[in-house]
Amino acid sequence: MMVRQYEQERGLRKETPNDFMPVGYNLRMRTLEHVGAVGIFLFHCAIGVVIFLGWLWQSIWPFYVGLLFVVLFQNLILGYCVLSRWEFALRRMLNPRLRYEYNFTTYYTYKLTHKRLSTRFVQILGTIFLTVSLAVSLYANVFA
């Protein structure tokens, strides 16, 4: 405590919100942020499986088509995935130096293969995939 006070008096250190937090607060918050980020990552992966393979299960067809609409809307109108932005907001709290451009696919492809995919390429390919999947699914289940 004395070192912190000495540094603050001489302008060597500014007060931070963590200076006034109870002992252990930072560790608990970091743990919650990490668990939240991993939980969103796993949920994001599950959504990806449904988007790619949802057409196989006739019982979830309404959910599948709704999910395709929502993801296509996000891709066209927002230009990013809400889950990606949320996950990496939490990850950036843990590591402020984290570089992330709000594209789940390009980020994790690089982490796994150390090869960069263009964000624009992934966005265009994703839009094409979602549009074709939605058109085929609607044609096969509504118009056929």
* Cβ–Cβ < 8 Å for 137, 61: yes
60: pLDDT confidence band, cut at 50, 70 and 90? very high
| Burial of 107 (C-beta count, 10 Å sphere; 0-12/13-18/19+) | buried
| Residues 82, 13: Cα–Cα separation, whole Å | 36
Q: Measure Cα distances from 139 to 76, 109, 114, 134 in Å.
A: 22, 32, 39, 8
| Residues 16, 143: Cα–Cα separation, whole Å | 61
34: pLDDT confidence band, cut at 50, 70 and 90? confident
Angle between helices 119-138 and 61-73 (to 10 degrees): 140
Spell out the domain ranges in the chain: 2-143
| Burial of 85 (C-beta count, 10 Å sphere; 0-12/13-18/19+) | middle
pLDDT digits (tens, 9 = 90+) for 65-83: 999 999 999 999 988 889 9
| Residues 38, 22: Cα–Cα separation, whole Å | 26
- Predicted TM-score (pTM) of the model is 0.76
pLDDT digits (tens, 9 = 90+) for 102-139: 688 888 888 899 888 888 898 999 999 999 999 999 99
| Residues 79, 66: Cα–Cα separation, whole Å | 18
Q: Is 18's pLDDT higher than 80? A: no
